Structure formats: structure tokens, C-alpha cells
Amino acid sequence: MKTQTVLRASAAIATLAVITAGVSRISSQQAQAAPSPGHASHLKNAQTGGLKLASVSSLSFGPAGLLLVAEPGSGSVVGIETGDTGPMKKPKPIADIGTVVAAGLGTTAENITIKDMAVNPESGRVYLAVMRKPDNAAAVITIGADGKAGALDTAKFAWARVTLPGGTTTKVTNVTDVACASDRVIAAGSCNEEFASKIFSIPMPLEHGGTASVFSAETYHVSHKKWETRAPISSFVCEAEDGKTNVVGAFACTPIAKFPVGDLQSGAQVKGVSMVELGSGNRPIDMFMYSKGGKRWLVTQTQRFHQPLFGPSNLWGARVDMALLNPSSPDKTNEKAVHRDVKQAKDPQGIEVVDVLFGAVQADKLSDEEAVVIRDNGGKLAMELVALP
């Protein structure tokens, strides 16, 4: 019997070796959430199974459950067709999300870092980019309406990886943010050794092994009244204006600037227009847009490293009336960009502190009414739903 077991195990081992050495042959019927039949793929030359993420820094959603993962270790953007297309359900809050995620990764809360959070706009499911210490293992964790956390089983889905073209001397290794515009995927990244602002544009469908156009961004930095080519974009969103794509990005020294990338050829320099200055001493963490009361708002979640603080935490968020980003008058750009009046929580120019974002280390939109935040409650991380103003 023992011999039989050993033989059977050996056979299984051989089978396993074959399976794991090659592309996984999991049938689509076993996939948890394979894209529905007839659904047009947003990937080209897509790979099936076998996806291993070297690292994760940022997450974002494209259409039809397309998850975009910024992978800084390889300087790449990975698209994953999760098939998570709804129906829309609100995620259930979790009081100690750090411990829940850490336990599922076999460790304790102090040994994980939640690098980013994205809410799937079609299903309400929450996706977390997580790195484990000290081994730097990367995982994408999802939380659904039942409050259950689990890892995205990357082995099951179609995916494509695009490596961003390098700088003048070195590879791109730092991918700070990624987002999907109507016809393309935009990423911001930099090389370790060069201080430069680079915007990458990847055409849709995302082609595995394909490449990206690269633009050098030049922006007027309001705080020191100079044109800059060298400050990297920390966080951004994509928006369309007259059918053309704009990247609205924030820098470490906090101007919010708009970059029209719609018609540019690779290698071009894109001139950003500084629109709003939130004040110095703030590092942008996240941005999202929503509509309410007949207005479109841009929310920037920020870490403040200066005194005085604007409320009970150095983590704070502001919403900016998008009308300020599409001014009819050029008098309100660059050196004449709107400065937030830091003495007013509700600056009548259209820049307001969002109280529910104090203490949030991550924030993303769930709907035009609500956002999901991960809040640092004295060392414990809580995932909450908050009403947007």
C-alpha cells in the first residue's frame, strides 16, 4: 500500500512538474470569474495562467473588470481580465483590515504594507495591492460584499504585461501610478538614477510584450515659480476634454497640473498647465473624481509633512471643483494658478477640505455618493465606507 502511495505520489509529482513548468491548463469552467462569452477582450496576445507579480505599487480599473497593476520591480504595467463585472454591491467594512490581510498571508499586521487600493467601479469589490515583509512577496487582495478577504488568484485569468521603455541610461523601475483613459492606459514612472518626469501611454487593447510611448513632462511649478522637467508625478487621474485625453497629475510639491497627451507622438515633450496649488508640505497619495450637485470634483488624498496640520491628522484630503481645471480664462494657470486659501476649510474658490478623509491612508470612489477609505485608527487599519460631501 505504501509503495502504491509512493508510486501514485510520484506520478502526481511528475504531473505537477509538467503542469507547473509550463502554462497552467486550468479549464475556463474552473475559473472563478472568467470573462463572459462574447465579451471583447481589452488585451492582445493575452497570456493565460502563470502570472506571478514581482511587486505591486498601484492598482486601477479599466473597462469590464480590467485590473491594471503597476509592477515597479520590472518597470511594467500588467493588465488582468478579472471578469469581475458586477452586479454592484457595497463592500462590507472591516474593523481591522491589516490583521485580516496579514493572517491570510501567514504573517502579522506590522509585516504587511498596503501600497494601494482600488474599488472596482462595476462590482464595488475592493482590491488591495499588498507587499509582505521581509520577503517582499506581492499579492492582490480582494474584499467583497460579504466582508471576506481573499487573494486574487492570478493563475486563473487572462493577462498581459507591458514593460515601460527606459530612460536615457537606465531602466524604468519605479512606476508610481497607473490609470485607464478611454483609448489607452497611462502610467507615471521614473528611473532610479534620474530625476525626471515621464508619462507613458500604452494603447488599448493592452498588448503582452508591447511597448509604450513616452513623454517628458514639463510643468510650471507654482511654488518656486519655475518651469520644471525633473519633478516626477506622484499621483494622477485621466479625464477627457473635447474627446481628447488629459492627464491630471499632482507632484510632491503639490501643484495640480493638466497634461494634454491626446495627439502627442512618442518622445515628445508635453507641457503641463499648472491649475491649482494646494500649498507646500503635502505629498499626494491618491486621486479620484466624482460628480455631485451638478459639479465634478477632483479629490486628492495627501500626506502632510509640515505644521500646521489642517485637522486631526496629517493625512487629509481636499476636493477641487473640476471647473478650476478647465478654466475659460488663461489668467488662472501657471504663475496665476489658483492657490488654496489654507486658512479656510471651504475655500470659496472651489477647494474644500473633505472631513471624512482625515486619517485615510487609502481612498477611492465607490459611487458619486460614497468612497471606500482605509483609515489609520491609532495603528489599526480600518476599511470604512464614507459619504462624499
Partner 1 sequence: MPRPARRTSLILILALLALVIAFAAWRATHRASPEPRFTLFVHPADESHDPAKVVAAVFTRTSEHLDWSALLPKDLSGAEKILWIEQIGGGGSARLFGGYSVRGGELYFTPSAPLLPGATYHVAFAPPDAEKGDVQSPANVGFAATSGHGRLDLMYQVPAATAEAPKLQTLHPTAEELPANHLKFYLTFSEPMEQGVFLERIKLLRADGSEIAGPFREAELWSPDGRRLTVWLHPGRQKTGVSLNEAEGAVLREGETVALNVSGAWRSVRGQKLGVDFKRSYRIAAAARGQVDPSKWSIQPPKANTRDPLRILFPGPLDWALLQDGIRITSDARQPLDGRLHIADGDGEWLFTPKTPWQSGSHLIVINPVLEDLAGNNLNGPFEADATASAAAQPSVAELPLRIE
Contact positions with partner 1 (CB under 8 A) in 162-201: 167-171, 173-174, 176, 190, 192-195
Pick the binder of partner 1 from 155, 342, 382, 385 (CB under 8 A): 155
150 is a site residue for partner 1 (CB under 8 A): yes
Pick the binder of partner 1 from 47, 107, 313, 367 (CB under 8 A): 107
Q: Which of residues 316-335 bind partner 1 (CB under 8 A)?
A: none
Smaller CB distance to partner 1: residue 177 or 347? 177
Pick the binder of partner 1 from 153, 207, 368, 376 (CB under 8 A): 153
- Number of residues counted as binding partner 1 (CB under 8 A): 79
Smaller CB distance to partner 1: residue 227 or 291? 227
274 is a site residue for partner 1 (CB under 8 A): no
Pick the binder of partner 1 from 108, 182, 291, 344 (CB under 8 A): 108
23 is a site residue for partner 1 (CB under 8 A): no
Smaller CB distance to partner 1: residue 194 or 376? 194
Build a one-symbol-per-residue string for 80-99: x at contacts with partner 1 by CB under 8 A, - elsewhere. --------------------
218 is a site residue for partner 1 (CB under 8 A): yes
Smaller CB distance to partner 1: residue 226 or 343? 226
Pick the binder of partner 1 from 41, 74, 213, 313 (CB under 8 A): 74
Pick the binder of partner 1 from 62, 91, 124, 232 (CB under 8 A): 232
- Rounded Cα distance between 70 and 78, Å, is 6
